[in-house]
Each structure stands twice: as C-alpha cells, then as structure tokens.
Structure 1
C-alpha cells in the first residue's frame, strides 16, 4: 500500500492520475530546492510530472534540469507517496503519485528554464520545515533528521 500525505480525496471529485519524480539533492550539508513563485509561493523538491512513455529516471533528470538548471547523477529511489490536490496551473484535480529519489547535484548547466522557479540552497533542517507538502518533508526527515 502506498502511503498518502495531505488531505483525503474529496467525495464525488474525480482525480486524474499524475505520476511524478522528485529529487532530494544534497551537497555539503545543503539541499538544492526550488522556490516556485506562481501560481502560489512554495518551496519544493525539484521534479515534476512523468510524461506518457517516459520512465521515472528520465523524467527526474529532465525535470531537475528544467526547474534548477542542474545536472544530476546517481539517482536512487527512496519511496513513493500519493497526494490528492487541485493543480491550478493545469486547472485539474490530481492524484499525484510522487516517486522520491536521492541524487547528487553535479554542476549547474544554466539558470532554471521553468518560469517562476529559482534555486535555493537550504540545510536539511530548514527543508524539513519549509517544503510545501508533508510527503517531501517526511522523506527529508527520514534521510537527515
């Protein structure tokens, strides 16, 4: 059974399955996270949706590069959780199936390609408090705190 974080699904609401891959990126006792400023301000683990026909590792590399500009290596799957949320940027209700990985941030290739995203380096303790969802905080806590 896959653990659920956040609000339970709303009765009568239809949710679209949205698998995604997200990374805990540690370097010198700091974690690379993204700060998304729209449609709302939120600190997040870098990552995002897995496109149809794409595997989770390929999606992880692509999404981290788009959101942070960083090249990563050595992804290792830590676990999976689900959340039921409204995604205003897509105007849809989603059952997010979040695959969490640890990986090594190798070097910055360029600035983030995703609009409204910026790179932030925080301590694991800070990340365990500021990340925008319980699932991300749970995996950071399980690794570092």
Structure 2
C-alpha cells in the first residue's frame, strides 16, 4: 500500500514529480545528511528524475549537484507520496523513492550554490525536514 502524506485538495490539477532521495546516516546513526536551501528549508539529498534516467543515475547526478560527492546506492527503503503546494502555489504530488546510501569520494564543489550540506540530529528530523514523507523515510531507514 502506498504511503501518502499531505492533503489532496479537490479541483486542483496536481503535477506529478517523481524523485529519488538518499538516506545517509553517520556511523553512529544519530545524524542524517540533509540539504538546506537559501530559505533555510531542509530536504533529503536527491531530486527529480530527468529524461530517461534510472533511479541510480538520478541520485548520482543529484548528489554531485547538491553535495559534490559520489554516492553508493544501498537498499531500497520504500516509496511515499506527498501532496503540497510549491512556493509558487503550484499543486504538486511528489512521488518519492527512497534509498539508503553512503557517501563516497568528494568529486567537486556543489553546483547548486544555494544548497548547503548539513548533518541534522535524528531527534530534530521531524521538525526540520520540510516534507513528511522524507521524515517517514528516515524513520524507515533507521529500522534497517
């Protein structure tokens, strides 16, 4: 069964955005890697699938763009969706695919200069991560 978060408001035409996201814990599993944007919002690293990318290709590209690191893709955690409205008030449905992952070598400086890598405490994930389905995925990843 699909995990669905957020409220679907009747009469709105939701654009579906399929994305792939990494759950990366530190060795003690008390922190998770997040990306903070210039507005101060936290997200899991990852993003939308472009063209005919595989999930792995998407996550590898997004990780390089956002963090500058290569990533090892581990086990699949699950799929969860969230209805929300973007900052421009566009109705969106984020269809997220979540994987455990590990950081490998730093290859470059991040391309997206308004994104900052932050290790956030597991205890504060719920209030810091913007999307509920990202929080759900972190909780699921901790079970592994």
- Runs of 4 or more consecutive aligned structure 1 residues displaced over 4 Å after TM superposition: none
Give CA-to-partner distance per residue, 1:57-113, whole Å, 9 cap, x none: 111111111111111113321101111122236x63221100011101113223321
Q: Secondary structure at the match of 1:13?
A: coil
Asked if 1:36 corresponds to 2:37, the answer is yes
Aligned position for 1:61: 60
Q: Distance in 2 between matches of 1:66 and 1:12?
A: 35
**Number of equivalent positions:** 141
The structural deviation recorded for 1:144 is: 2.7
Give CA-to-partner distance per residue, 1:40-61, whole Å, 9 cap, x none: 3211100000112111111111
Q: How does 1:36-115 map to 2 (within 5 A)?
A: 36-37=37-38, 40-88=39-87, 92-115=90-113
Whether the 8 Å contact between 2:74 and 2:100 is mirrored in structure 1 is: yes
C-alpha RMSD of matched pairs (Å): 1.9
Q: Distance in 2 between matches of 1:109 and 1:27?
A: 19
Q: Distance in 1 between matches of 2:9 and 2:127?
A: 26
Q: Distance in 1 between matches of 2:11 and 2:73?
A: 41
Task: Using structure 1 for the length normalisation, give the TM-score.
Answer: 0.86
Note the residue ranges of structure 2 that are not aligned, 5 or more in a row.
none
Q: Distance in 2 between matches of 1:69 and 1:125?
A: 26
